[in-house]
Amino acid sequence: MTSQVPCYTIINSPDLEVPNEMQLKQDLEKGDTNVKIETLKRVIKLLLNGERYPGLIMTIIRFVLPVQNHTIKKLLLIFWEIVPKTSADGKLLQEMILVCDAYRKDLQHPNEFLRGSTLRFLCKLKEPELLEPLMPAIRACLDHRHSYVRRNAVLAIFTIYKNFDWLVPDGPELIASFLDTQQDMSCKRNAFLMLLHADQERALNYLASCIDQVHTFGDILQLVIVELIYKVCHANPAERSRFIRCIYNLLNSSSNAVRYESAGTLITLSLAPTAIKAAASCYIELVVKESDNNVKLIVLDRLVAMKEHEGMEKVMQDLVMDVLRVLAAPDIEVRRKTLALALDLVYSRNIGEMVLVLKKEVAKTHNVEHEDTGKYRQLLVRTLHTCSIKFPDVAGNVIPVLVEFLSDTNELAAADVLIFIREAIQKFPALRALIIEHLIEAFPQIKSSKIHRAAVWILGEYVEGPQILEVIAVIQQTLGDVPMVEAEQRRLAGDQTEEQKQQQGSAGGTGTGSATEGSGSGNASNKVTSDGTYATQSAYSLAPVTKAEKRPPLRQYLMDGDFFIGAALSATLTKLALRYAELQPEARAQNRLTTQVMLIMSSILHLGKSGFPSKPITNDDTDRIFVCLRTLSERTPEAVAVFTLFCREALGKMLDAQHDEDQRMLKEKQKATAKVQPDDPVLFAQLSNGRDNQLGENVFESSLNQALAGSKNAQLSDVASPNSKLNKVTQLTGFSDPVYAEAYVNVNQYDIVLDVLIVNQTNDTLQNCTLELATLGDLKLVERPHPVVLAPHDFCNIKANVKVSSTENGIIFGNIVYDTALNTNVVVLNTIHIDIMDYIIPASCTDTEFRQMWQDFEWENKVTVNTSFTDLHEYLKHLLKSTNMKCLTPEKALSGQCGFMAANMYAKSIFGENALANLSIEKPVDDPDSKVTGHIRIRAKSQGMALSLGDKISSSQKQSVQAA
């Protein structure tokens, strides 16, 4: 037995107060038309909420059914759809004969709206006893003058034939002859749809007779024709040649929906290069012309799926320039997906054209201020970076364009440029001179301390020969006068510093001199007024105004207290001085440059301790500068080797490790799309439901799988397998309770379906057995389950839907209430805990993005490690498995046993929420039996996410301890 009654109409109703049945009867009998309409609406809502009013049926038949008002007619269709039409023993109610007669009259009514809506209602009836007397009237509607009636008559015959074919045994034949005479497109579509499902042979014969006119049909009929061709060709591949020309024609349809479906069908029917190119071109046109971003993303996903197929990828490589047309879309997600697709498809022949397009896109972003402009620039930089590393021939063209980004206010884009330059200068020695030339040119315009720091390192590591002096000159220019403390004192005293004089000289200004005469104590100043007299003002009556001085960039960083740039600068200057000493044989020139460099370093140290900057220099930066000074003065071979050799070697090793990691990821992707091996079993279409690859499987079946399972990876066998259900069954009551209940919790993407089995273990009949549920957390019960009647030792299944809106641990609790002959009883149910892991999927991001999110997210949850694990790597594996997170720290960084481990982890929820975690654990190396200790810090944007993930880690730790 099941409590599910067929119902196709869902009406949202707030909590209603249950009225008196006598009052309802009175309103339906004696009220005017408006009162009857309002009362009928209330009755419908009460019925949907589980109330039962068997006494109202006759009242409605007598006093409401004869009324000719159209609103009442519409409401009555909903009422007869949801009202119970059978008695307790399953027999049809006698009153329904009268209803049947009323609807037979409506089917012959002169008003076409009434006829059509009645025919739509008949599609929802599941009682053949009610439908049988109406069949002659339904058939007569096929010849009605109005298309609205005719198309609904076809749908009614289709539904009746599908459910009770004996009521209309000649249905396909009747509809086939109807189809031949029809001109209206909606009628033809419904008729063709029936033949498609009821008699494919007749549908094929009709299609064959008008295959040359298909492109002139309306889009609704064309969509059904595409579905028929797909199904026929999937079941019988020999038919492909017969219909493939028709699909080609439909690629040029005026309807975007038809073109999308036709392109999808074409690549399932044929893998010929012309077919792949036509389908891909059609998809690209749809993305470019369609304004809806969701549609763009869906179609781009189809293009990405095509690219994954090796045979299609080669054909699609020639369409890279067409794909890049999609960059005209303003949405950042569309652009990101487009650039990723183009990057995968590009090859040596069209890389030059792609770089030209990307350069134009870079130029477009310079004067456009939009919230996503910065992100788009970053995307373009990364794409050009990948292009240059993949195809070194274009690197020379890309570098000048990217170096312009160094002066950009968007620090992220500039940082990505420097990462690219660092890799290019190491991997392509031939381009070093070009890169350094552009970098020296752009150096004074850089606006960020972080970017300056990285640029200084690159210049110090790779500059050679005569460019050494050029770099030192540029650094001095961006640093200002040295010694810096004296320069700042002169600036404070009001004297002109050297750089101010240079600025005035370059501006061609004639210095007017100072118009102020400082008094001996400096507490008053004389100003020249407009009439030429002096005005005197005391300094005590003025609030001190600090004038924002314009300093050179590197000096400004130091004055703001950022002495890390000073330490990086010292290391760079040391490298340059040591390299110059190797190249310049003359001792005097060597010493001149070394003393110049040492003066800059000592000046930075002096400034750091002088009190002028907003923050003093840190001990770390002081130590680093002292090491540089000492290296230049003593020049021990070990220290010189560190500066001249080991830094570059470390960069080479890091880039090699990154390259190895990328190659490993690429191999893993290739493994996922494994080719057919010689000893693989042969798959016969007749013996299997579908294949693993997208092209061979039945797309209708796979979309059904996804709808059932809530995820793309689930197979129909997994959904249907009893084992998967048994793992998710929660016992709600005890075996000794009068009512036993257990729930199968099926988690879809945004909702949870509870399938509750209720068993009556008593010898009594349970009346009004109701499942009452409530939720805790971000869960919402969609509808209240209907009450049921349970015979002795009977059982039933009740379904309840719960809506989920965020990634938090939720709890569902409640009770079962039932009436016996003596009293009302309540059985309290066990709580159902909704696992957060159903919504979290592993994800990856760059180190920079991780740090940025770590800084931005305000909710942190610190969990102490309490586990029985004695191995650090085993504990990390256990943590990743129990939290669905991905470890961002590379495998090489985690390898080896050193007694401690630090790792970053990242995951995303299906609602788009980010979760970050940092693991810091340790154990004594000399004690192999000691347990892992430490803590895990979780950060998220929402409090619920951080707390739920912490609870999950704590519970998984408890389980591991109990198991041990």
Could you write out the DSSP letters of every residue in 557-585? HHHTT--HHHHHHHHHHHHHHHHHHHH--
Q: Of 54-58, 98-102, 892-896, which gets the smallest average pLDDT?
A: 892-896
What CATH number does residue 858 fall under? 3.30.310.10
Structure tokens at 875: 């504990």
pLDDT band for 498, please (50, 70, 90 cuts): low
Q: Which is more confident, 728 or 886?
A: 886
Chain-centroid distance, C-alpha 692: 25
Query: 673 pLDDT exceeds 60?
Result: no
Structure tokens at 756: 């509750």
Let me know if residue 949 belongs to a domain.
yes
Segments forming the whole domain that contains residue 873: 838-963
Contact between 132 and 164 under an 8 Å Cβ cutoff? The reply is no
Cα–Cα distance list, 555 to 58, 492, 560, 565, 574 (Å): 94, 15, 9, 10, 19
Q: Do 610 and 471 belong together in one domain?
A: yes
Q: Do 591 and 482 belong together in one domain?
A: yes
Query: 669 pLDDT exceeds 50?
Result: yes
Q: Do 785 and 860 belong together in one domain?
A: no
**Which residues pair with residue 381 across a beta bridge?**
none
Average pLDDT over residues 864-870: 87
Domain end marker among 796, 811, 834: 834
Domain end marker among 816, 834, 852: 834
Could you write out the DSSP letters of every residue in 492-557? HHTPPPHHHHHHHHHHT-----------TTS-EEEEE-TTS-EEEEEGGGSPPPPP-----HHHHH
Query: 647 pLDDT exceeds 70?
Result: yes
Let me know if residue 751 belongs to a domain.
yes
Three-state SS at 55: coil
Query: 544 pLDDT exceeds 50?
Result: no
Query: 796 pLDDT exceeds 80?
Result: yes
The pLDDT of residue 83 is: 82
Residues 690-703: tens digit of each pLDDT? 444 444 445 555 55
Q: Do 785 and 861 belong together in one domain?
A: no
Residue 64, number of CB atoms within 10 A of its CB: 24
Q: Do 885 and 816 belong together in one domain?
A: no
pLDDT band for 719, please (50, 70, 90 cuts): very low
**Cα–Cα dist 79/36, whole Å:** 13
Cα–Cα distance list, 340 to 373, 659, 672, 850 (Å): 18, 18, 19, 21
Cα–Cα distance list, 240 to 215, 266, 342, 697, 702 (Å): 18, 10, 31, 16, 21
The pLDDT of residue 533 is: 64
Most confident of 221-235, 453-467, 661-675: 453-467
Let me know if residue 936 belongs to a domain.
yes
What predicted TM-score, i.e. pTM, was given to this entire model?
A: 0.67
**Cα–Cα dist 251/638, whole Å:** 71
Give the whole-number percent of the chain exceeding pLDDT 90. 11
Query: 494 pLDDT exceeds 80?
Result: no
DSSP state of 642: I
Residue 616, number of CB atoms within 10 A of its CB: 16
The pLDDT of residue 513 is: 42
Q: Which is more confident, 711 or 959?
A: 959
Query: 546 pLDDT exceeds 90?
Result: no
Let me know if residue 433 belongs to a domain.
yes
Query: 4 pLDDT exceeds 80?
Result: no
753: burial class by Cβ within 10 Å (0-12, 13-18, 19+)? middle
Let me know if residue 863 belongs to a domain.
yes
Q: Of 49-53, 54-58, 114-118, 196-200, which gets the smallest average pLDDT?
A: 49-53
**Which residues pair with residue 92 across a beta bridge?**
86
Q: What is the residue-averaged pLDDT of the chain?
A: 81
Cα diameter, the chain? 119
The pLDDT of residue 627 is: 92
Structure tokens at 927: 């004690």
**Cα–Cα dist 664/671, whole Å:** 10
The one-letter amino acid code at 629 reads L
**Cα–Cα dist 136/149, whole Å:** 15
pLDDT band for 916, please (50, 70, 90 cuts): very high
pLDDT band for 805, please (50, 70, 90 cuts): confident
Contact between 408 and 445 under an 8 Å Cβ cutoff? The reply is no
Q: Which residue has the tokens 């019925």?
A: 47
Q: Which is more confident, 333 or 269?
A: 333
Contact between 807 and 777 under an 8 Å Cβ cutoff? The reply is no
Residue 947, number of CB atoms within 10 A of its CB: 17
Dihedral over Cα of 20, 25, 31, 36: its sign: positive
Query: 129 pLDDT exceeds 90?
Result: no
Average pLDDT over residues 592-601: 90
Residue 136, number of CB atoms within 10 A of its CB: 10
| 414-433 per-residue burial string, b: 16 or more CB within 10 A, e: under 16 | bbbbbbbbbbbbbebeebbe
**Cα–Cα dist 462/429, whole Å:** 10
- DSSP H helices, 611-646, are 619-634, 637-641
Q: Which is more confident, 334 or 502?
A: 334
Let me know if residue 3 belongs to a domain.
no
The pLDDT of residue 740 is: 93
What CATH number does residue 828 fall under? 2.60.40.1480
Structure tokens at 871: 């191995």
Specify the length of the chain in residues: 964
Chain-centroid distance, C-alpha 665: 21
Three-state SS at 942: coil
Helix 200-209 × helix 171-181 angle, to 10°: 20
Q: Do 473 and 368 belong together in one domain?
A: no
Structure tokens at 375: 């992100």
Three-state SS at 268: helix
Q: Do 462 and 438 belong together in one domain?
A: no
Contact between 334 and 296 under an 8 Å Cβ cutoff? The reply is yes
Residues 237-277: tens digit of each pLDDT? 777 777 888 888 888 888 888 899 889 888 888 888 888 89
Contact between 424 and 388 under an 8 Å Cβ cutoff? The reply is yes
Helix 449-462 × helix 432-442 angle, to 10°: 140
The pLDDT of residue 618 is: 92
Domain end marker among 623, 645, 664: 664
**Cα–Cα dist 817/733, whole Å:** 13
Let me know if residue 251 belongs to a domain.
no
Contact between 844 and 906 under an 8 Å Cβ cutoff? The reply is yes
Let me know if residue 394 belongs to a domain.
yes
- Termini Cα distance of the chain: 45
Q: Do 769 and 909 belong together in one domain?
A: no
Q: Do 658 and 790 belong together in one domain?
A: no
Q: Do 374 and 476 belong together in one domain?
A: no
The pLDDT of residue 531 is: 62
The pLDDT of residue 704 is: 52
pLDDT band for 620, please (50, 70, 90 cuts): very high
The pLDDT of residue 499 is: 53
Q: Which uninterrupted H or E stretch holds 22?
A: helix 21-30
**Which residues pair with residue 776 across a beta bridge?**
811
Q: How many structural domains is the chain composed of?
A: 4
Cis peptide before 466 (omega within 30 of 0): no
The one-letter amino acid code at 760 reads N
**Which residues pair with residue 538 across a beta bridge?**
524
Which residue in 406, 388, 385 sits closest to 454, CA to CA? 406
Query: 497 pLDDT exceeds 60?
Result: no
Which residue in 910, 904, 912 sits closest to 848, CA to CA? 904
Residues 377-436: tens digit of each pLDDT? 888 888 988 888 888 888 888 888 888 778 776 677 788 888 888 888 888 888 888 888
Structure tokens at 66: 């004869």
**Cα–Cα dist 189/675, whole Å:** 42
Q: Do 739 and 787 belong together in one domain?
A: yes
The pLDDT of residue 963 is: 67
Q: Do 462 and 582 belong together in one domain?
A: yes
**Cα–Cα dist 875/958, whole Å:** 13
Structure tokens at 961: 């301890």
Query: 460 pLDDT exceeds 60?
Result: yes
The pLDDT of residue 917 is: 94
**Cα–Cα dist 358/383, whole Å:** 9
**Cα–Cα dist 395/189, whole Å:** 56
Which residue in 69, 71, 21, 26 sits closest to 46, CA to CA? 21
Residue 1, number of CB atoms within 10 A of its CB: 10
DSSP state of 693: S
φ and ψ at 543, to 5 degrees?
-75, 135
| 197-211 per-residue burial string, b: 16 or more CB within 10 A, e: under 16 | ebbeebbbebbeeee
Query: 580 pLDDT exceeds 50?
Result: yes
pLDDT band for 521, please (50, 70, 90 cuts): very low
Q: Which residue has the tokens 């004296």?
A: 486
The one-letter amino acid code at 88 reads A
